[in-house]
Amino acid sequence: MLEAVVFVLQVFYGLCALGLALYSLHAVWLVWQVRRATPVATPPTPVTWPTVTIQLPIYNERHVAERLIEACATLDYPQELLQIQVLDDSTDDTQLIVDRCVGYWRAQGHNITAVRRTDRRGYKAGALAHALPHATGEFVAIFDADFRPAPDFLRRTLPYFLTPDDAQVGFVQTRWGHLNRDYSPLTRSQALALDGHFAVEQAGRQAAGYLFGFNGSGGVWRRACIEDAQTGGWQDDTLCEDLDLSYRAQLAGWRGCYVNEIVAPAEIPPQLNAYKRQQFRWAKGSIQTLRKLGGRVWRSDRPASVRGAALIHLGSYLIHPMLLLLLLTIPPLLWLGGTPPSPIALVGFTSFGPPLLYAVGQQRLYGRDWWRGWLNLPLLTLIGMGVCLSNSLAVWQGLRTRGGAFHRTPKFRVEQRGDAWRTSAYRLPLDRVMMAEAGLLLYALGAAWLVAQQSGWMSAFFMLLYAAGFASVVGVTLWQNRPPHLLHRFHRRRFLARTDSGKYNSPLTPDGTI
């Protein structure tokens, strides 16, 4: 019986190590694809511009709603061809801010309306689907509340739809920029991860002819693609409605287009709990999409390499339960006399891909200064290991359930150092997961001691990385949730001053809400 338990633990250990190695090698493959790819050709400027609807899904965004609406209302695009729909499901004073902004810009001659529902059924996907019948545009641009598109965004993205060879382009995704990259070490490490995702992963998948996902914001859809019966429109049975729709569209024969040269700036979450909530939603939603579409992807007529890469993409968050299982497996294996492979070899074989991917991403975007952003890799690595429990819980829910509550990532309008956010009502409190993460910190330290006793402290490095990761997450979470009385009063005054500028005081016109 004891030997059987040891055998099962070694199988788990081996499968997790092989899975991590697979994702590491896939990252190297994407780097190779990017390095050999030719840039996407810039299409000519069209003679006539099409009609466009901009959809802005909002839920309780008092700090950033005004910034978003103003950025979209001041886009360099003919007013008579542009419609703005503010999809406002808010339940707080965001509604008043939206109404003032909508009223102001309607008085300036813009076709802008606030679209409201009686309930949040379907969350973001439900709001997008509800508003689409009221849209007048041939194309639909989507921006989440934390974005601030540049004035030339539409004039640069729409040409990718409008040449005869691009009639099957269903969506165009642009690269996300960062309004607050240098706010803190946490935001810099998130920026490094996002840069790698867009500049290498998205660009690499496109260069290789693989399926890739729409990122939910900072992009444009061809309305006919969304409404295509084979695509199926917006659906709310996953928490990644964007990934789900983009994969269904590509399986229906439409094409996606990623443009690395066009940037849509957005705000990075400054609170670690907000980042964890965002990652939880993305992890759960992507695994739900894997459950929903994995069979269709594998049965499609695409080459085996394309189908395999798509399944790896949809299952990318599986690396977190693999990391967690590795940690949980090693101590009982050692107690029972098992001999897992050397952790040093494991670290080297399973972790060289992501650092290379991030380095190439920084080099593509920032040239000779690439190393400045790449220096944030140690913290990104620790945070990535520290959130493996939270993301594993998300994967487990994604494997068992459809849809679910769409818990928004709070936005605080933090754009520069010194901007405060901890006095906001949107700040997330401590949760029970942090207590479990503290327990895993102790568990990892115990595992490191066991490995050191057997093979020396050099071999315990992998376990110490786990301990450092959980210590980082627990430490930052506690620091960011320290008692409010420790805050200086001027931070609260500066924060409240950014809630609503009061610039838009025009009353809402009678038809400003539908």
260-300 tens-digit pLDDT:
999 999 999 999 999 999 999 999 999 999 999 999 999 99
What per-residue confidence (pLDDT) applies to 346?
Answer: 56
Delimit the domains of the chain by residue range: 2-33+319-495, 47-287
Q: Percentages helix, strand, coil for the chain, rounded to the nearest 5?
A: 60, 10, 30
What is the average pLDDT score of the chain?
A: 92
Structure tokens given for 98: 């939206």
pLDDT of 349: 58
Strand extents, DSSP E, 50-142: 52-58, 82-88, 111-115, 139-142
Residue 240 has pLDDT above 70, yes or no: yes
The reported pLDDT for the residue numbered 497 is 46
> So what's the pLDDT on residue 512?
47
Task: Check whether 6 has a pLDDT greater than 70.
Answer: yes
Confidence of residue 510 (pLDDT cuts 50, 70, 90): very low
| Res. 334 pLDDT band, cuts 50 70 90 | confident
Confidence category of residue 348, pLDDT binned at 50, 70, 90: low
List pLDDT tens digits, range 335-347.
Answer: 887 776 655 555 5
Residue 285: phi, psi to the nearest 5?
A: -65, -40
Kindly list the distances between the CA atom of residue 480 and the CA atoms of 102, 267, 492, in Å, as whole numbers in the listed order: 35, 18, 15
85-94, 179-188, 287-296, 411-420: which has the minimum mean pLDDT? Answer: 411-420
Q: How far apart are the C-alpha atoms of 39 and 320, rounded to whole Å?
A: 33
Tell me: the pLDDT tens digits for 38-94?
Answer: 888 899 999 999 999 999 999 999 999 999 999 999 999 999 999 999 999 999 999
Give the model confidence (pLDDT) of 382-392 as tens digits.
999 999 999 99
Q: In whole angstroms, what is the distance from residue 61 CA to residue 52 CA?
A: 24
In angstroms and rounded to an integer, the radius of gyration of the C-alpha atoms of the chain is 24
Which of the four pLDDT bands, split at 50, 70 and 90, describes residue 500?
A: low
Of the candidates 265, 263, 433, 253, which has an alpha carbon nearest to the alpha carbon of residue 365?
A: 263
Closest C-alpha to 323, from 395, 238, 431, 271 = 395
pLDDT digits (tens, 9 = 90+) for 390-408: 999 999 999 999 999 999 9
- Summarised one tens digit per residue, pLDDT across range 131-173 is 999 999 999 999 999 999 999 999 999 999 999 888 999 999 9
314 Cα distance to chain centroid: 13
CATH of 47-287, one of 3.40.30.10, 3.90.550.10, 3.40.50.970, 2.60.120.200: 3.90.550.10
What is the average pLDDT across 472-499? 70
Give the least confident one: 29-38, 67-76, 107-116, 457-466: 457-466
Question: What is the value of pTM for the model shown?
Answer: 0.93
Range 241-248 average pLDDT: 98
The residues that are catalytic are 89, 242
Given a cut of 90, is residue 129 above it in pLDDT? yes
